Amino acid sequence: MRIALAQLNYIIGDFDLNTSKIIATIEKCRQQGADLVVFAELSVCGYPPRDFLEFDDFILKSYKAIDAIASHCEGIAAIVGAPSHNPDVKGKNLFNSAWLLSDGKVQALAHKALLPTYDIFDEYRYFEPNRTFDCITYKGIKIALTICEDIWNLAPDPLYISNPMDVLALQTPDIMINIAASPFTYDQQKTRLEILKANTNQYKIPIIYVNQVGAQTELLFDGNSCVLDSEGKNVAGCKAFDEDICFADFNPDDKSIVSDSPQLIENSSKTALIHDALVMGIRDYFVKMGFSKAILGLSGGIDSALTLALAAEALGNENVYAVLLPSEYSSDHSIADAVALAENLGCKYDTIGIKEGYNSILESLKPFFKDLPFNVAEENLQARVRAVLLMGLANKFGYILLNTSNKSEASVGLADYINRDHEIIPVNSIAKPPSAELRPGQKDSDSLPEYDILDQILYNYIELRQSPADLVASGFDETTVKRVLRMVNMNEWKRHQTPPILRVSPKAFGQGRRMPIVGRYLS
């Protein structure tokens, strides 16, 4: 059997687009001799559809799309992902299902059993877990068909009490097929491959794994669909961060699986993976939202420099507009560094000083501020003047305003990666102490620990969930730890007001880290 792995980029709820892509891919694979084409989890409606699943019309459109796709499955079969009705009045109304389509109709369904409800996942909110398991058969080949999380319960500390493949393995399947929507983090590629190998080691049969690719708001999907033989060796794989199709030929007699044009999973560096993910995420957000042009404030520091470089690569330099917004405290080298970067990238840029707008607001507040000394209030006024100017330009000319990240070790690594062939981001922007330049001689380290220390504390606290005692025991200063954790937790309200944050870490600010705004833990 010749099996095609179809790694596509879907848009949630765009049934016309998703259906046409799936049908076009089936026809393309038919021409290349495929017997079966495998698509990703919830490929028909896009993943994650979230509360769209609560609309009957959304489910109806999904069923109509299934019918349309099935009509093109004559002489070839397809496995697609889509919601399906739960006929039992008890439990949730929907299953998360894999549909086998052939001979112009639906031949079989397999429902997802293990529904993740951690980090960014909330599938039990919508779906009923499957409790009965049967292999499906196509062209005499018995397939153990599972969906994403169903093969992930082989860790040393299992999250679930059952394992669908244990039941399916008793039916002596010839091959495993897993359709997935597995989001990217910088370590997910390695972890995912370990899980796939664990399954082949456990069940001694090959596995076909198909993941989606593309960005869905803040969630990034890297693809990396692949084929492993019964010994866990890579046979074929799709490209990362791009739509792709690869083929594998399976022989049920000896359970061997080969590919005539293998493209194996690439072992990219962490920095390269994050860079490619962010570029894809920016590009996809704009394309899927129907936007084309971006604007951002360019300060000469590493935060905005990195954002501009990524945006120019994602959208094209002609579609990114940089605005320099110097304060009276801005240094000449900051302005020069910003200009050098914009010119290196070929991006349009302009300079708008904020002194006049700031002074005008300050004059209005003078009767109320009286003679109180300069403090963070005046600093924040300058930052808000910058935001007002940028939003004014964005609204007037149809730009989307990009937020710039805070400097971290990851930012330095990304900047060095962007400069890997030649200098794009001025070295001075990378090396100089970061500053908002809102008062004389200001540096970020005046109000924060040095970033090399701050980053490590935040990593250990947020991603590894270490306690204050753990952090102190590992060598961090106790006073600094308490101060940093207090600042993180006291400012949760700000994160509820931020734009979407592209997720590249296993635990990141955004929908995967749900903290109460009002709370006293470590604050």
- CA-CA distance, 33 to 27, in Å (whole number)? 10
- CA-CA distance, 151 to 427, in Å (whole number)? 46
Contacts by residues 151-157 (CB-CB < 8 Å, ≥ 24 positions apart):
151/176, 151/178, 151/195, 151/196, 151/199, 151/207, 152/114, 152/195, 153/114, 154/195, 154/198, 154/199, 154/202, 155/195
Polymer length in residues for the chain: 523
CB of 436 within 8 A of CB of 447?
no
Q: What is the DSSP string of 426-495?
A: -HHHHHSPP---SSTT--GGGTS--HHHHHHHHIIIIIS---HHHHHHTT--HHHHHHHHHHHHHTHHHH
Catalytic sites, residue numbers: 41, 112, 148
Q: Give the closest residue to 425 by CA, choosing from 349, 322, 344, 347.
A: 344
CA atoms within 13 A on the CB side of 18: 28
| Alpha-carbon distance values, 182 to 120, 194, 215, 493, 513 (Å) | 11, 14, 11, 29, 18
- CA-CA distance, 499 to 403, in Å (whole number)? 7
- CA-CA distance, 211 to 97, in Å (whole number)? 15
- Token pair for residue 425? 């981001």
How many degrees, rounded to 5, is the angle at CA 247 between CA 243 and CA 249?
165
Residue found by looking up tokens 């924060």 in the block: 448
- CA-CA distance, 344 to 341, in Å (whole number)? 5
- CA-CA distance, 241 to 220, in Å (whole number)? 9
What are 85's strand-pairing partners? 94
- CA-CA distance, 3 to 252, in Å (whole number)? 12
| Alpha-carbon distance values, 150 to 97, 167, 212, 467 (Å) | 12, 12, 16, 32
Q: What is the CA radius of gyration of the chain?
A: 26
3 state DSSP class of 193: helix
CB of 35 within 8 A of CB of 177?
no
- CA-CA distance, 96 to 127, in Å (whole number)? 6
- CA-CA distance, 195 to 81, in Å (whole number)? 21
CB of 356 within 8 A of CB of 388?
no
